Amino acid sequence: MKISVVGGGIAGLTCALSLHAAGFRPRVSEAARAIEAVGVGINLLPHAVRELTELGLAEELASIALPPHRLIYHDRSGVPVWEEPLGTAAGYHWPQYSVHRGRLHLMLLAAVRERLGPHSLHTGRLFRRFEQTETDVRAHFVDRATGTPITEDADVLVGSDGIDSAVRAQLYPNEGPSHWNGVHMWRGIARYPHMLDGHSIVVAGGTPGAKFVAYPIEDPAAEGGEALMNWVLEVRHGRPNRPPPRTNRRITPTEARTGLADWNLPWVDLNRLAEHSSAVFEYPMLDRDPLPRWSFGRVTLLGDAAHPMFPMGMNGGSQSIVDARVLAWCLTREHDPATALLRYDSIRRPTVNAVVLANRNSGPEEVIARAEDHGGVLPSGRAESIADRYKHLSQGTVEQVNTHPSWTVPSDADGPTG
């Protein structure tokens, strides 16, 4: 079965690896002319790390990422209000990882080229539209270097081309712009000494637009050296639901220091963090309304194209990785691709739609919003209840992750790829 994957980001490359492992022939088309190590930090939750491990990427992932041991919530003055263990420290069979998004992207790219071959991914291909029949689907692209039209025929088309997905736009032509909550995120990375114990994710503040987040994504090369620290400052300077600026403009060191001036966190020198940041960029906090369906005939959506969400709970990239694995599994269980895509849709969409809506209400970070309202540490069990509820709806509890059946397709599977 030939499968065309539109989008060569983390979701698209994981999709290609999952499809290849299940016995299919995927080809990836990416609009960017080159895939480079850009971006800042990302967290992979244990349910995503399990899937990458089952794809045979455990050693590669461990070599580029750090496993945080705990998550600590603080109020705006830096006083801790609640903490919880993460990864194996919490009882998962797989760690949680903090990693530079660009390094993760290049790791997946290397695996795709090694396993699928150098001609399995084409860059500089801008997706325009698709057309499908009962027996196949044809994707239309434009070569960005030459302007030459390109067509690709396949049995299935997967749109994994991000929040502004062109595949999604064809399926939902009247959807309109993405949803903005009025918050911008200033994101940077800096060489900086370890904060606290050096193995923690710290979140300080309260409601969206008044938060600071930091965690290391790379250990120092030598004892006593500085870690590579990922940090985010949320600022609110816009009205929700109005079209946000999408320039991802660069924040100057002076502007960064001014934005951080109102914060007093005793465990970090914010001026030094701003000064040592190689670059700080501003991104609007965006999502889209949950869809009633992702799959139409032989075409489906995956990752941010299907469920862009606010970055609460560190779930966006992790859920995209699970999408890819479930999609590959479903395609081996049905002889009719359209039926397989509907099965994938029914398994993944209700869960991830619930996460999108929960993240609009701060997700697990409701803990610090409630602590701010309460004026300090929450009553016994309240924070645990908020965190556990979110893990359960996202299929991320210790029991759910450790015990659910594997999405790996056995090599001797007697199905459409057998």
In this structure, are strands 97-100 and 41-44 parallel, antiparallel, or unpaired?
antiparallel
Residue 78: count of CB within 10 angstroms of its CB: 15
Edge-to-edge strand ranges of the sheet holding 137-143 = 125-132, 137-143, 149-154
Cβ pair 158, 327 in contact under 8 A: yes
Largest pairwise CA distance in the chain: 64
Write out the two tokens for 339: 């039926």
The C-alpha atoms of residue 322 and residue 338 are separated, in whole angstroms, by 20
Quick: pLDDT tens for 362-373. Answer: 999 999 988 888
Whole-number CA gyration radius for the chain: 21
Cβ pair 102, 37 in contact under 8 A: yes
| 286 backbone dihedrals φ, ψ, rounded to 5° | -125, 150
Give residue 226's pLDDT band: very low, low, confident or very high (50, 70, 90).
confident
Residue that has been written with the tokens 């409701």 in this structure: 366
Write out the DSSP string of 133-199: -SS-EEEEEEETTT--EEEEEESEEEE---TT-HHHHHHSTT--SPEEEEEEEEEEEEEEPPPTTSS
Instruction: Note the pLDDT of residue 39.
Output: 82
Give residue 418's pLDDT band: very low, low, confident or very high (50, 70, 90).
very low
* Extended beta strands in 33-111, E state: 41-44, 70-74, 80-85, 97-100
Give residue 239's pLDDT band: very low, low, confident or very high (50, 70, 90).
low
Which H or E element spans position 337? helix 337-360
pLDDT at 415 exceeding the cut of 50 = no
Flag the least confident range among 218-227, 313-322, 336-345: 218-227
Of the candidates 47, 51, 52, 8, which has an alpha carbon nearest to the alpha carbon of residue 26? 8
Higher pLDDT, 253 or 5: 5
Quick: pLDDT tens for 96-132. Answer: 999 999 999 999 999 999 999 989 999 999 999 999 9
Side-chain-facing half-sphere of 148: CA atoms under 13 Å:
6
| 153 backbone dihedrals φ, ψ, rounded to 5° | -95, 140
Q: What is the mean pLDDT of the chain?
A: 92
Residue that has been written with the tokens 């109005």 in this structure: 242
pTM listed for this prediction: 0.94
- At position 193, the amino acid (one-letter code) is P
| DSSP-assigned beta bridge partners for residue 186 | 233, 282
Give residue 32's pLDDT band: very low, low, confident or very high (50, 70, 90).
very high
Quick: pLDDT tens for 285-333. Answer: 999 999 999 999 999 999 999 999 999 999 999 999 999 999 999 999 9
Provide the angle, in degrees to the nearest 10, between the axes of the packed helices 46-54 and 10-21.
40
Fold of the CATH domain 2-176+294-403: FAD/NAD(P)-binding domain (3.50.50)
Of the candidates 294, 322, 315, which has an alpha carbon nearest to the alpha carbon of residue 171? 294
pLDDT at 414 exceeding the cut of 80 = no
Q: Selecting from 3.90.1150.10, 3.40.50.1820, 3.40.50.10860, 3.30.9.30, what CATH number does the domain 180-285 have?
A: 3.30.9.30
Residue that has been written with the tokens 């990239």 in this structure: 317
Q: Where are the domains of the chain?
A: 2-176+294-403, 180-285
Quick: pLDDT tens for 157-203. Answer: 999 999 999 999 999 999 988 999 989 999 999 998 878 888 899 99
Percent of the chain with pLDDT strictly greater than 90? 76
The C-alpha atoms of residue 110 and residue 357 are separated, in whole angstroms, by 34
Cβ pair 135, 154 in contact under 8 A: no
pLDDT at 147 exceeding the cut of 60 = yes
Instruction: Note the pLDDT of residue 253.
Output: 84
The C-alpha atoms of residue 408 and residue 325 are separated, in whole angstroms, by 8
User: How is residue 78 annotated by DSSP?
Assistant: S
Give residue 242's pLDDT band: very low, low, confident or very high (50, 70, 90).
low
pLDDT at 238 exceeding the cut of 70 = no
Rounded (5°) CA angle 391-401-48: 85
pLDDT at 209 exceeding the cut of 60 = yes
- At position 145, the amino acid (one-letter code) is A
Instruction: Note the pLDDT of residue 46.
Output: 98
In the three-class reduction of DSSP (H, G, I as helix; E, B as strand; rest coil), residue 113 is classed as helix
Rounded alpha-carbon distances, angstroms, from residue 23 to 117, 184, 321? 14, 42, 18
User: How is residue 312 annotated by DSSP?
Assistant: -
Flag the least confident range among 34-38, 63-67, 170-174: 34-38
pLDDT at 222 exceeding the cut of 60 = no
Which H or E element spans position 257? helix 253-260
Write out the two tokens for 77: 């003055």
Instruction: Note the pLDDT of residue 281.
Output: 92
Cβ pair 27, 121 in contact under 8 A: yes
